[in-house]
Amino acid sequence: MLPGQVVLSRSCRSPPHPGACAIHAADQPDLAEPAAADAAVELRGITKRFPGVVANHDIDIVVQRGHVHAIVGENGAGKSTLMNILYGMHKPDEGTITVNGKQAVFSSPSDAIAAGIGMVHQHFMLADNLTVLENIVLGSEPSRRGVLDSRAARAKIREISDSYGLDIEPNELVENLGVGDRQRVEICKVLYRGAQILILDEPTAVLVPHEVDELFANLRGLKAEGLTVLFISHKLDEVLSVADEITVIRRGTTVRTVHPAEVTARQLAELMVGSELPVPELRESTVTDVAELTVEHLTVRSPDGRPLIDDVSFVIHKGEIVGLAGVEGNGQAELVEAIMGIRPAESGHVLLGDRDVSRWHTRDRREGGIAYIPEDRHRHGLLLEAPLWENRMLGHQTERPNTRGPWIDRGGAKRDTRRIVEEFDVRTPGIDVTAASLSGGNQQKLIVGREMSGTPTVLIASHPTRGVDVGAQAAIWDHLRHARAAGLAVLLISADLDELIGMSDTLKVILRGRLVEEVDPHTVTPEQLGSAMTGAGPVAAGGVS
């Protein structure tokens, strides 16, 4: 199968007829309307307004008992608000919630829990220094004469673990567990409280592919026992493989409910977006033979001596986009950090043009012309609580127009921030608002705008369109294309295989810290690339597994 990180794999790339992939609401009857007979959850006309924003309106969803029901939508479409309403964290302004045929009003999560609804959050809420058992019972401890009755708790956890195949060891310390195990503990925690209806908020976001498989096996186990699962995601391949029904949310409201057998990933994506998707593609080659970034025999080791990057060499030319494909955790982050001088390399060289920058500090490399779009914009790309114009300075605080000698040039920085906001279409009421108040897509556009400012010769773009909406994605691709035409050398790292294939002049595959293969982006399919990434077989050998 394709790795779990593959976002939006469009099985309908280059369709025979342009219209073949679009579905029109009129073509098919809406499945959600009748059939509320055996509904576990029924949401009708849910509307929720926050001051100035309507987060949800006229939401209609019917979730059948014993189904895995997926809710998909873009970031900011209102999925999380909806689930928070169902979990009692927000009260809807209008509409009704019906659970197991009975109308319910939740004023807090404990009401929802009492009604048999449990939520597994995207970010785990476990105490590392407690055991699995202690974490599970935390907040609803069984006691005997005022003392924690761990024997009863252990028995109950074992029972839950066995009947749903969760494979949980109650005495293990949580800090020793991997991500997938922790998630199972979270699920067990919810089941322990008697949940019949589980809400899973983006459960696969933190998992590696085989953990995703395990999770899906668990979900099928829960389903077999008659439990209902609400599965929130924007990874369409996963949704299609695990869900019985899929409800699409766009701009705060339910658009359609469909059966996975009836739609392709691309159709779903278009339902999510409400229009045809932008296609990542490059026009004529602008590649020159001037080497802008040369990496020679670069090796990076972990503190315990394991090679994270193992003898990696490549060249990026002026006007070339080099894509780096790989399952996450195969050394991409380390490679980027080594190129940026954030992580020390053990051996090898990094050449910027013909200057050896291997021993340069990060700031010197940036001043030397390397622009950097970091993978995690919140941790590495922004000062969330600082105003936009200070964020425009970040990473460029030694350059005009932000500073003049040792002094900050407020006027210059602000003027240039306004230019970026304008040119890169950052949706913001002003440049004095904090970065935290912008949506992810607009934050990313600000970062892209900032990094394209000045005269960079090399751009290191780590997941430049991750977590941004389709409009911003198209805009960022446009900027990359323009910069490439203007001679920028780009290293593009992405988990979106379509983006990689469409936007790269040269495509390399990284596996366990080594560049294992170079593939032709014009001929390779996402499936071939996916199997090359997992080491299942080289594309060159024709090995499509």
Q: Residue numbers of the site for another protein (CB under 8 A)? A: 25, 30, 50-54, 57-58, 60, 250-256, 274, 340, 342, 361-367, 372, 374, 379-386, 390, 393-398, 403, 406-408, 427-429, 432-434, 436-438
In whole angstroms, the minimum distance from the beta carbon of 298 to another protein comes to: 19
Residue nearer to another protein on the CB measure, 87 or 372: 372
Phi-psi region of 373 (alpha: psi -120 to 50; beta: other; left: phi over 0): beta
In whole angstroms, the minimum distance from the beta carbon of 191 to another protein comes to: 34
Alpha carbons 369 and 139: distance in angstroms, whole number = 54
Alpha carbons 9 and 519: distance in angstroms, whole number = 18
Helix pair angle (150-164, 209-224), 10° resolution = 100
In whole angstroms, the minimum distance from the beta carbon of 308 to another protein comes to: 18
Residue nearer to another protein on the CB measure, 343 or 419: 343
Q: Is the dihedral of CA 52, 53, 57, 59 positive or negative?
A: negative
Alpha carbons 369 and 314: distance in angstroms, whole number = 18
Residue nearer to another protein on the CB measure, 223 or 380: 380
Q: What H or E segment, with its residue span, contains residue 417?
A: helix 410-423
Amino acid letter at 63?
Answer: V
Residue nearer to another protein on the CB measure, 281 or 385: 385
Sheet hosting strand 458-462, strand order edge to edge: 370-373, 458-462, 489-493, 321-325, 506-511, 514-519
Residues in the chain: 545
Rg (CA), the chain: 25
In whole angstroms, the minimum distance from the beta carbon of 411 to another protein comes to: 12
The residue behind tokens 């001037």 is 290
Q: What H or E segment, with its residue span, contains residue 497?
A: helix 497-503
Alpha carbons 180 and 157: distance in angstroms, whole number = 17
Alpha carbons 160 and 85: distance in angstroms, whole number = 27
In whole angstroms, the minimum distance from the beta carbon of 181 to another protein comes to: 27
In whole angstroms, the minimum distance from the beta carbon of 269 to another protein comes to: 15
Amino acid letter at 20?
Answer: A
DSSP 381: I
Alpha carbons 266 and 198: distance in angstroms, whole number = 27
Residue nearer to another protein on the CB measure, 73 or 502: 73
Q: From residue 365, give the alpha-carbon distance in Å to each of 315, 368, 398, 458, 484.
A: 17, 5, 12, 10, 20
Residue nearer to another protein on the CB measure, 149 or 367: 367
Is the preceding peptide bond at 142 cis, omega within 30 degrees of 0? no
In whole angstroms, the minimum distance from the beta carbon of 106 to another protein comes to: 22
Residue nearer to another protein on the CB measure, 361 or 482: 361
In whole angstroms, the minimum distance from the beta carbon of 536 to another protein comes to: 34
Q: From residue 313, give the alpha-carbon distance in Å to each of 354, 507, 518.
A: 15, 14, 12
Q: How many CB atoms lie within 10 A of CB 297?
A: 12
Residue nearer to another protein on the CB measure, 170 or 252: 252
DSSP 369: T
Residue nearer to another protein on the CB measure, 58 or 311: 58
Classify burial at 280, counting beta carbons within 10 Å of its beta carbon; exposed 0-12, middle 13-18, buried 19 or more. Answer: buried
In whole angstroms, the minimum distance from the beta carbon of 110 to another protein comes to: 24
In whole angstroms, the minimum distance from the beta carbon of 434 to another protein comes to: 6
Alpha carbons 267 and 25: distance in angstroms, whole number = 12
In whole angstroms, the minimum distance from the beta carbon of 101 to another protein comes to: 24
Residue nearer to another protein on the CB measure, 50 or 285: 50
Alpha carbons 295 and 358: distance in angstroms, whole number = 9
Alpha carbons 518 and 511: distance in angstroms, whole number = 12
Residue nearer to another protein on the CB measure, 93 or 111: 93
In whole angstroms, the minimum distance from the beta carbon of 202 to another protein comes to: 21
In whole angstroms, the minimum distance from the beta carbon of 167 to another protein comes to: 35
Residue nearer to another protein on the CB measure, 218 or 442: 442
Q: Is the dihedral of CA 123, 125, 126, 132 positive or negative?
A: negative
Residue nearer to another protein on the CB measure, 395 or 513: 395
